[in-house]
Amino acid sequence: MSKAPPADGLADARDELAAVAASLRAYLEWQEDTGAVGIPRGARRVRPQPAEAASPAVEPPVVRSLEPSPERAAAAAAPPPSPEPASAAPRRAEPFAPPPPPSPPPPSPPVKAPAAAPVAPAAVKAPARALPAVAEEAAGCTKCPLATTRTNVVFSRGNPAAKICFVGEAPGADEDAEGTPFVGRAGQLLDKMIQAMGLDPSKDVYVCNIIKCRPPGNRRPEPEEVEACIPYLHEQLAAVDPKVIVALGNTAVAALLGTKLGITKVRGQWKLYKGKIPVMPTYHPSYLLRPSAQQVEAKKQAWEDLQAVMKELGLSPAPPKKA
């Protein structure tokens, strides 16, 4: 049997264990105060046995080093912050002050509207020449070969201030001799038609032709002759500015309206000259004088066309003459 350790050796061991427990308790309390966590691991220290306790049966307890690391020791050595005295008045909270409003952004510089592009002045339309100036130029015209065969330039007759303008094809022999349009048999029939409308041929209408010189043999004018002479007609119509134009026959209709349709296709239908002046196409008086099976019907249709013109202008036909 092993021998029991001496009583004084047991007392020393108990005292040493009590000292270790006290030291451990103090160290844990220090950790709680400083917020440290865990127990540092150090080198194992073996406390030498006292001479009296040489018995191998009882070994002293092994205790790990409780010394803190140098960093923790420095932290522990620092004096703890001194608490404020209890008698000190509690710190008053600063009154809440809202942040100052943001300063308004600097005003933007005024935006200038882009300069308007300069407007080109509208083309100024040249005023229409007076009819005497146009007639004077036409009297000396040599733009086409008809200037070498004519007797007179046939410009117009009637009233330039009239509301109705009758436009025919070209002068005949009688017109070339006198220098006045519609004075032969066709002109006499035209005057009767105008009078049937309740108008005076010399005061209430203006009469002219597409070309101003007679084609030899009373033939139809050539396209080149029409092209050379029609500017005079355009100037005449611009100066007179009639309310209605009556186009007599194929040549007049084609030149004024730019159509290739025959007179039988377009007569009685309102058209426009230059998009503004109403035009009534109808038969030429010389066609109404030719004996044919259609003569009676053609005269009736021509009168219907003239009645449409009267209606357009608010005119009443002349009362029938007493026998």
Contact (Cβ atoms closer than 8 angstroms) between residue 195 and residue 188: no
- The answer as to whether 5 is a domain residue is no
CATH of the domain at 153: 3.40.470.10
279 assigned to some structural domain: yes
Total domains present in the chain: 1
Do β-strands 205-209 and 157-158 pair in parallel, antiparallel, or remain unpaired?
Answer: antiparallel
**The pLDDT value given to residue 85:** 47
Residue 259 belongs to some domain of the structure: yes
How many CB atoms sit inside 10 A of residue 265's CB? 11
The pLDDT tens digits of the residues spanning 25-49 come to 777 776 666 665 555 555 455 555 5
Q: Is residue 126 part of a domain?
A: no
Q: What's the confidence (pLDDT) of residue 161?
A: 97
Say if 63 falls within a structural domain: no
Helices 185-196 and 295-313: angle between axes, nearest 10 degrees: 50
Whole-number pLDDT of residue 14: 79
- Cross-strand bridge partners of residue 246: 166, 280
Instruction: Confirm whether 81 is domain-assigned.
Output: no
pLDDT of residue 56: 47
Residue 170 domain boundaries? 131-313
Q: Domain for residue 299, yes or no? A: yes
Cβ(229)–Cβ(210) below 8 Å: yes
Determine, yes or no, domain membership for 108: no
pTM of the model: 0.62
The secondary structure element, H or E, covering residue 137 is helix 131-139
Which positions ≥6 away from 121 have C-beta within 8 Å? none
pLDDT, averaged per 10 consecutive residues of the chain (323 residues), comes to 56 78 75 60 52 47 48 52 48 51 62 51 63 96 96 97 98 97 96 97 97 96 97 97 98 96 96 97 96 93 97 83 60
DSSP character string of 186-228: HHHHHHHHHHHTT--TTTSEEEEESSSSPPGGGPPPPHHHHHH
21-36 as b/e: b if 16+ CB within 10 A = eeeeeebeeebeeeeb
pLDDT digit string, tens, across residues 182-225: 999 999 999 999 999 999 999 999 999 999 999 999 999 999 99
Residue 44 vs residues 68, 133, 175, 229: alpha-carbon distances, Å: 14, 140, 153, 137
